[in-house]
């Protein structure tokens, strides 16, 4: 998904106080797979599968993975969260999530954590657009390398259900069309960003494992927003609501806006009821960025910023990006100028009861989250 130029770039987060280093749990003993319960007289092969009860969530210290982990705990599931830095897990421990210090680099160690789980949700990854060339190796490993290792570990542990969190960006620029899960982009057209290329590669790794028989379900979220969103798009919407957005850029990028809580519900539904081998688009309502900014401004009782910086001017700035302190601006422009990331969630609505809220309702919750 595209990010926006410096106006919308979020400020660094304040460092959080160090949390006590979690105690790594003892490795669970291997156990026999639980048989699926079925009504008397019903052949086992036709019986419904039980909902997962013990789930490992990668990326739980992040925006999406954290929402998934909290929802699973609220529904009574045991959740294991391997994280690189336990100090960045927020309130996961308060929800009863078992936090384990693990950077997902060791396949066999991860397989041990997976030995006793009913499912794994792989939400870890790097989601930035506009990175420098020096940062590409780290993003490749975060998106493709980590996905490969997690799926290797799941295979070793014979994990019965796996959800891989991909992105609607897998389809590339849909050029105004609303596509579905059957759509395939022409890779000869190239990629819009290094993020685009590495997330595409991770998705293809999952597809190759599916072809080999792995019980993987792929979900493809659109642009995620909600309370705690620190993305460039999220920062731009909040600035518009607060009257701090001085100008508009990349007005015509087309996104599907999905609230993080709706996305978490869709991801858990995919784990519980999705069909292995299938993909599900989890997209919210589709809007151009200009419309989304106008909606956010209206909720703050303001008008949208009247000044719009043309893409042509941004391109000139990108040509001297290093001197302006924004060396990745060209990538931001290429992934956002006139590009649409539009896909239909009809399949998820039919099979997973996925029903995302409107952008206006979602932004109200984002700006004024309910007090729990």
**Strands, DSSP E only, in the chain?**
54-58, 78-83, 98-101, 119-122, 162-165, 216-221, 223-225, 254-259, 279-282, 286-288
Alpha-carbon distance 354 to 340, whole Å?
Answer: 22
| Three-state secondary-structure class, residue 124 | coil
Longest distance between any two alpha carbons in the chain, whole Å: 74
pLDDT in tens, the chain (372 residues): 444 333 333 333 444 444 444 444 433 333 333 333 333 333 334 434 445 589 999 999 999 999 999 999 999 999 999 999 888 888 899 999 999 999 999 999 999 999 989 999 999 999 889 888 899 999 999 999 999 999 999 999 999 999 999 999 999 999 999 999 999 999 999 999 999 999 999 999 999 999 999 999 999 999 999 999 989 999 999 999 999 999 888 899 999 999 999 999 999 999 999 999 999 999 999 999 999 999 999 999 999 888 888 877 767 666 665 544 466 788 888 888 899 999 999 999 999 999 999 999 999 999 987 665
Looking at residue 46, its pLDDT comes to 40
Cβ contact 365:259 at 8 Å? yes
pTM for this structure? 0.83
Alpha-carbon distance 173 to 188, whole Å?
Answer: 13
Domain 52-367 of CATH type 3.40.50.1370: no
Alpha-carbon distance 158 to 156, whole Å?
Answer: 6
Looking at residue 328, its pLDDT comes to 76
Looking at residue 308, its pLDDT comes to 87
Cβ contact 267:75 at 8 Å? no
Alpha-carbon distance 307 to 179, whole Å?
Answer: 32
Cβ contact 50:267 at 8 Å? no
Looking at residue 75, its pLDDT comes to 94
Alpha-carbon distance 360 to 199, whole Å?
Answer: 29
Looking at residue 181, its pLDDT comes to 98
Q: Tens digit of pLDDT for each residue in 45-104?
A: 443 444 558 999 999 999 999 999 999 999 999 999 999 988 888 889 999 999 999 999
Name the β-bridge partners of 286: 256
Cβ contact 25:98 at 8 Å? yes
Backbone angles phi, psi at 257, to 5 degrees: -100, 115
Q: Tens digit of pLDDT for each residue in 202-224?
A: 999 999 999 999 999 999 999 99
Give me the count of residues in the chain.
372
Burial classification of residue 18, based on how many CB atoms lie within 10 Å of its CB (0-12 exposed, 13-18 middle, 19 or more buried): exposed
Residues in contact with 238: Cβ distance below 8 Å, sequence separation at least 6, in sequence order: 296, 366, 367
Q: Which pair of tokens denotes residue 12?
A: 């660094």
Looking at residue 313, its pLDDT comes to 76
* Cα-based distances in Å from 107 to 37, 102, 110: 32, 11, 5
């Amino acid at each position: 998904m595209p990010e926006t130029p410096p106006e919308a770039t979020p400020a660094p987060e304040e460092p959080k106080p160090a949390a006590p280093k979690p105690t790594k749990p003892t490795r669970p003993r291997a156990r026999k797979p639980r048989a699926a319960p079925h009504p008397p007289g019903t052949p086992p092969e036709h019986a419904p599968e039980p909902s997962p009860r013990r789930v490992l969530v990668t990326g739980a210290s992040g925006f999406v993975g954290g929402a998934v982990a909290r929802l699973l705990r609220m529904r009574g599931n045991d959740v294991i969260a391997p994280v690189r830095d336990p100090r960045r897990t927020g309130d996961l421990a308060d929800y009863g999530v078992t936090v384990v210090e693990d950077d997902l680099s060791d396949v066999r160690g991860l397989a041990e954590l997976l030995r006793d789980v009913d499912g794994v949700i792989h939400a870890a990854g790097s989601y930035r657009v506009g990175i420098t060339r020096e940062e590409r190796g780290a993003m490749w490993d975060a998106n493709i390398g980590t996905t490969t290792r997690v799926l290797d570990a799941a295979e070793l542990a014979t994990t019965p259900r796996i959800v891989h969190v991909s992105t609607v960006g897998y389809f590339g620029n849909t050029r105004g069309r609303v596509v579905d899960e059957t759509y395939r982009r022409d890779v000869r057209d190239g990629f819009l960003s290094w993020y685009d290329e590495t997330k595409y590669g991770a998705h293809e790794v999952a597809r190759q494992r599916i072809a080999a028989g792995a019980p993987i379900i792929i979900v493809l979220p659109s642009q995620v927003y909600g309370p705690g969103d620190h993305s460039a798009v999220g920062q731009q919407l909040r600035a518009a609501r607060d009257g701090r957005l001085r100008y508009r850029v990349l007005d015509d990028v087309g996104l599907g806006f999905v609230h993080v809580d709706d996305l978490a519900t869709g991801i858990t539904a995919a784990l519980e009821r999705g069909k292995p081998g299938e993909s599900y688009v989890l997209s919210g309502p589709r809007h151009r960025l200009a419309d989304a900014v106008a909606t956010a401004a209206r909720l703050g009782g303001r008008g949208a910023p009247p000044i719009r910086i043309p893409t042509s001017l941004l391109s000139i700035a990108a040509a001297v990006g290093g001197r302006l302190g924004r060396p990745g601006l060209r990538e931001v422009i290429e992934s956002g100028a006139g590009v649409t990331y539009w896909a239909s969630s009809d399949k998820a609505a039919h099979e997973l009861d996925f029903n995302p809220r409107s952008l206006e309702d979602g932004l109200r919750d984002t700006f004024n989250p309910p007090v729990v």
